[in-house]
Amino acid sequence: MNEEAAAVQRAQRDPQSFGILYDRHCDRIYRYILGRTGNVQIAEDLTAETFLAALKNLWRFRFTGRPFRAWLYRIAVAQIGEYYRRRTPTIELELAIELPDLRQTEGAPILTDEYRQMHQALEQLSAGQHEAIVLRYFEDLPIADISWVMGIPESTVKSHLHRGLRHLHGLLPSDAYDVQSQPQSGRTLA
Amino acid sequence: MTYNLNPNLEERLRNARLNAEVTPAFASRLRRALLSSRYYTEPRSLRFLHRVRRWLPLSAGALAAGFLIALLANLTGPPAASAPTILSVVNNPSSLQQLSNQGRIHYLAEQADGTRLYRIDLSNGTTLDVVDPAPYIMQLTHQ
């Protein structure tokens, strides 16, 4: 049993051990949720919901080789999905443009142009492609874990990544993506 | 599937990572709430009881609603089809003969006690079963 599995087992009985896990993963989960929702207040609420759900279901957690953070991401994905399902209808796009950017509220991170440009392009991808790219390139999860977090086969994750990156290439201004043209600098999905 | 990710795009993706941290005030508030959660302070058996207590009114309500619906359906629904019942015993052979002559009575079967069972078609589409307690006195002209 590795160190993380032992830590989770301790956390099932000992609050201080859960505190250690919380300290280790809180920022990462918060950042992921903030990136998906774009609102500090909602991100804080959903982070709290995610850790509360994790705590309630901690007794069910069985270590099967997947990292604990993958389990947290899976809960966070469910929380975000639930949030979007139950939230009230949004306003028209034309009106939304006139409103102040919620990401610039107090406590919100300062966003670079690179971030805005990339996220505007990502938001034009399908939900699956967006999710897969965020988990792969922003959260550094391996394909097997992304498959488990999203609840889809690994081949579908690879397809989402491939098509998503291809689409992203068309959406971003410069030529950033090149299929099979630079094998020496390539990256292989495994 | 193998594909090559241009380093430029990979770098751009990494640069586009959100550099945000949860505020210390929120982090410590959430930490305190989680660590003092009932999950650790409450025995599992008590937690099970709480869960039962939460679901019990719902289950009882669902049961009562089902009972009421069944009761209403029973009161307002169509009458259940039942087997023909013997409504009367006819002791007047002449009246039976008259009905038979008019073609309104049909012989159905002979019962175990020797009596004969007939059926009369009434005007509103219903039928009436009658028993002839004195068999063989009637001349059946219509079958």
Query: For residue A160, what is the nearest residue in chain B, using CA coordinates?
Result: B1
More confident residue, B78 or B127: B127
- Please give the angle made by the CA atoms of B77, B80 and B82, to the nearest 5 degrees: 165
Residue B78 DSSP one-character state: P
Residues of chain B with C-beta less than 8 angstroms from the C-beta of A16: 35
A38 and A44 Cβ atoms separated by less than 8 Å: no
Domain borders along chain A are 1-108, 112-190
Average pLDDT, chain B: 73
Inter-chain CB pairs, A–B, below 8 Å: 124
Q: Which pair of structure tokens corresponds to residue A35?
A: 């990136």
More confident residue, B102 or A121: A121
User: Over the stretch A27-72, which tens digit does the pLDDT of each residue have?
Assistant: 999 999 988 888 888 889 999 999 999 988 888 888 888 889 999 9
- The distance from CA A131 to its chain's CA centroid, rounded to whole angstroms, is 7
- Please give the angle made by the CA atoms of A61, A62 and A65, to the nearest 5 degrees: 120
Q: What are phi and psi of A62, to 5 degrees?
A: -120, 130
Which pLDDT value is given to residue A50? 93
Mean pLDDT of all residues in B93-104: 72
User: If you count them, how many residues does chain B have?
Assistant: 143
- Full 3-state SS string of A32-76: HHHHHHCCHHHHHHHHHHHHHHHHHCHHHCCCCCCCHHHHHHHHH
More confident residue, B87 or B13: B13
Which pLDDT value is given to residue A185? 37
- What's the fold here for domain A112-190? Arc Repressor Mutant, subunit A (1.10.10)
Spatial CB neighbours of A144, under 8 Å, sequence gap ≥ 6: A66, A154
More confident residue, B89 or B57: B57
In chain A, which residues have pLDDT < 50?
Answer: 91-104, 175-190
Spatial CB neighbours of A154, under 8 Å, sequence gap ≥ 6: A143, A144, A147
* Alpha carbons B118 and B125: distance in angstroms, whole number: 16
Amino acid, single-letter form, for residue A64: T
User: Over the stretch B25-78, which tens digit does the pLDDT of each residue have?
Assistant: 888 888 888 888 777 776 667 777 777 877 888 888 899 999 999 888 888 766
Which of A127, A161, A153 has its CA nearest to residue B3?
A161
Q: State whether ipTM is beyond 0.90.
A: no
Which pLDDT value is given to residue A32? 92
Percent composition of chain A: helix, strand, coil (DSSP 3-state, to 5): 70, 0, 30
Which pLDDT value is given to residue B142? 43
Please check whether residue B21 touches A, CB under 8 A: yes
Please list, residue by residue across A23-62, b when 16 or more beta carbons sit within 10 angstroms of its beta carbon and e when fewer do.
eebbebbbbbbbbbbbbbebbbebbbbbbbebbeebeeee
* Alpha carbons B108 and B119: distance in angstroms, whole number: 7
Which pLDDT value is given to residue A179? 43
Query: For residue A156, what is the nearest residue in chain B, using CA coordinates?
Result: B1
Tell me how far CA of residue B69 lies from CA of B53, B55, B58, B61, B72, in angstroms.
Answer: 25, 21, 16, 12, 5
Q: Which CATH number fits domain A1-108: 3.40.50.300, 3.30.450.20, 1.10.3720.10, 1.10.1740.10?
A: 1.10.1740.10
Q: Do A31 and B21 touch (CB under 8 A)?
A: yes
Q: Which residue has the tokens 């957690």?
A: A61
Percent composition of chain B: helix, strand, coil (DSSP 3-state, to 5): 50, 15, 35
- Helix (H) or strand (E) holding B48, with range, is helix B44-76
Residues of chain A with C-beta less than 8 angstroms from the C-beta of B16: 112, 114-115, 117-119, 138
Which pLDDT value is given to residue A47? 93
* Alpha carbons B37 and B47: distance in angstroms, whole number: 12
Distance from CA of B51 to the nearest CA of A (A): 13
Which pLDDT value is given to residue A105? 53
